[in-house]
Chain A
Amino acid sequence: MLAKRIIPCLDVRDGVVVKGVQFRNHEVVGSIVDLAKRYADEGADELVFYDITASSAGRRVDKSWVAKIAEVINIPFCVAGGIKSAQDVKEILAYGADKISINSPALANPDLITELSDIFGAQCIVVGIDSYFNEETGTYQVKQFTGDEKCTKTTSWQTLDWILEVQKRGAGEIVLNMMNQDGMKNGYDLKQLKLARKICKVPLIASGGAGAMEHFYEAFNEADVSGALAASVFHKHIIEIPKLKAYLQEKGVVVRA
C-alpha cells in the first residue's frame, strides 16, 4: 500500500528556517541542516524547503544549502523558491533534490510548467498554489508573491481553475496552501480540500492550518489527500512525528511507521 505522507515544510529566508503567521512577521526557528536531519531521523516522509523571499526579490534559490541537505538526509526532498528556468531546475536536481516546486513563476509564465515537465518528468515538477478565501465574494483566489507581504498580489485565477490548468500543463503534484488557515492551527480547510481533490488527478498535498493530530487525520480521512504539510507544529514540538504516525496508524491511515 502506498503510504500517506507527512511533510514538514521549512520556510527558508537568508539561509535560516523561519515561520510567520498568515505569511507575515517571520521569526527564526533554526538552522536548515539541523532541522532537516532531525525530521528525517524522526520519520518525516519528505521535506520541502521554500525560499520564501526568492520570487519577490527576483533572486534565485541559494544552491549551496541544497547540496548540504543532500549530504545529511536519506529521504526525498523538494526545493522551491524563485525557480524560473530549466537551468535552475537542472542545478537543483544535480545537487540532490528530488523535486522542485514552482509557484509565482508558474503564474507569471504558465508555459514554464510544461517546459520543465517535458525535460525532467512530471514526477519532479510540483506546483504550489497560494489560495485565499475571499469572504466578500465567496471565492477562492490565487495569490502571487506571498513571500513578501508588500509584493503580494491577487491574480485573476480562481483556485479550482488554476488546479485544472496546472495539471493540463504537466504538474506532477499540487501543494495547496490555504492562506486563511496558515499558522492559525485551527485545522486544514477541509471544504476547499474536498473541492480540490475532486478535480485533482495528481497527488494533492494539504498545507496551512495544522495545529493538532486530528487535523492530519481529517485531511487524510475526509479529503483523501496524498500528503499533509505543516511547519510550526513540528518546529515548535507541538506535534512529534513518531506520535503523529502512531496516532494515524491507530486510526487506520496507511503510514510508513
Chain B
Amino acid sequence: MKLGIIDSNASNLNSVYQALLRLKHEGNLNFPLELMISSKKEELKTADKLIFPGVGAISAVMEGLKRNDLVDFVKENQKPLLGICLGMQILFSGSEEVPLKSESKTSSGLNLIEGQIKKISCGDLPLPHMGWNSLEFSSHPLFKGLKENSYVYFVHSYCASLGSYTIASSEYGQKFSAAVSFKNFLGVQFHPEKSGAVGAQILKNFLEM
C-alpha cells in the first residue's frame, strides 16, 4: 500500500512519519507499506490512502493548502483520508480560531463536513486541553481491538461538537468529537502518533480498513 502524507508546509510531520515507519517495520502489517510525504497533488494522487496532519493554527494550514494548490485535490479526493488534529478540524466548514491580528470572526475550512469548530467550553480548566484523556468510541473499524476506556493524547483549544459524524468522543469541561467520519474522510482530534500503543493500533486500523 502506498500511503501519502499531505505536507501543507505548515506543520511538523516528523512524529507522524516516525510512527508510520515503526508500523512499517514492527507493525506486523500483512502488506508492504510505502510512505510518501508530498505537497504535490500529482504525487499524492498516486497514493492509496492519505494522512493529513495539522499542528499550529487552522488559517496557517489552510494557507498552506492554498499555496500548494491542494484545496481542490483534498476536497475532491475519493480515497480514504485521515486528518489529524487540525487536519480533522479543517474538514469542517470553519472555525472560531482566527489569527490574533485578524478582524474576521471565523476562519474557513474545507466545508466537507457541515459545522463550526468552536473554542472548548471548559470553565476554569486550563486551555489548551493538553494530555491523556479517555476515549469513548463506537464500533467503527478505526477502533478495532481497543480496550474500553483507552487513553489518547490531546493538544488543542478548539473542538468539533458532537454530531451525526461523531465516531468517538471525549470530555474536557464539555463533551466533544474526538473522532469523526464522513464519506471517505476520517478525522481524529487527538494525536495517534503520540498516543502509545493505542495510537499505533488506530493508525494500523486505518491502514488495514
Interface residues of A in 68-98 (CB under 8 A from B): 70-71, 74-76, 93-96, 98
By beta carbon, the residue of chain B nearest A203 is B126
Contacts known (A74-B19, A75-B153); A203 close to B195, Cβ less than 8 A = no
State how many angstroms separate the Cβ of B184 from the closest Cβ of chain A.
26
Q: Is the CB of A96 within 8 A of B22?
A: no
Map CB proximity to A onto B57-82 as digits: 1 under 8 Å, 0 otherwise.
Answer: 00000000000000000000000000
Interface residues of A in 147-184 (CB under 8 A from B): 172-173
Contact of A3 with B by CB under 8 A: yes
State how many angstroms separate the Cβ of A108 from the closest Cβ of chain B.
27
Chain A interface mostly helix, strand, loop or mixed? loop
Interface residues of B in 1-59 (CB under 8 A from A): 12, 14-15, 18-19, 21-22, 56
How big is the A interface, by class? 20 to 34
* Count of chain B residues near A, Cβ 8 A: 29
Contact of A256 with B by CB under 8 A: yes
A70 neighbours in B (Cβ, 8 Å): 14-15, 18
Q: Is the CB of A2 within 8 A of B131?
A: yes
Interface residues of B in 120-139 (CB under 8 A from A): 126, 128-134
Contacts known (A75-B153, A172-B128, A203-B130); A2 close to B172, Cβ less than 8 A = yes
Q: Is the CB of A201 within 8 A of B126?
A: yes
A75 neighbours in B (Cβ, 8 Å): 153, 194-196
Q: Is the CB of A96 within 8 A of B14?
A: yes
Chain B interface mostly helix, strand, loop or mixed? mixed
Interface residues of B in 88-134 (CB under 8 A from A): 126, 128-134
A95 neighbours in B (Cβ, 8 Å): 14
State how many angstroms separate the Cβ of A111 from the closest Cβ of chain B.
18
Q: Is the CB of B128 within 8 A of A123?
A: yes
Separation of A98 and B155 alpha carbons in the complex (Å): 10
Separation of A121 and B197 alpha carbons in the complex (Å): 27
Among A45, A93, A172, A201, point to the contact of B132 (Cβ < 8 A). A45
Q: Is the CB of A3 within 8 A of B12?
A: no
Q: Is the CB of B12 within 8 A of A5?
A: no
By beta carbon, the residue of chain A nearest B155 is A123
By beta carbon, the residue of chain A nearest B15 is A96
Separation of A256 and B200 alpha carbons in the complex (Å): 16
Contact of B87 with A by CB under 8 A: no
Separation of A201 and B126 alpha carbons in the complex (Å): 6
Q: Is the CB of B196 within 8 A of A122?
A: no
Contact of B208 with A by CB under 8 A: no
Interface residues of A in 29-87 (CB under 8 A from B): 40, 43, 45, 67, 70-71, 74-76
A40 neighbours in B (Cβ, 8 Å): 196
Contact of A226 with B by CB under 8 A: yes
Contacts known (A74-B22, A74-B193, A74-B199); A256 close to B132, Cβ less than 8 A = yes
Contact of B143 with A by CB under 8 A: no
Q: List 28 A-B contacts (CB under 8 A).
A: A1-B133, A2-B129, A2-B133, A3-B131, A3-B134, A3-B151, A5-B132, A43-B196, A45-B132, A70-B14, A71-B18, A74-B195, A74-B196, A74-B199, A75-B153, A76-B194, A94-B14, A96-B14, A96-B18, A98-B194, A121-B56, A123-B130, A172-B130, A173-B130, A203-B130, A226-B131, A256-B132, A257-B149
Give 6 A-B pairs besides A74-B199, A94-B12, A257-B149 with Cβ atoms closer than 8 angstroms: A45-B131, A71-B18, A74-B196, A95-B14, A96-B15, A172-B128
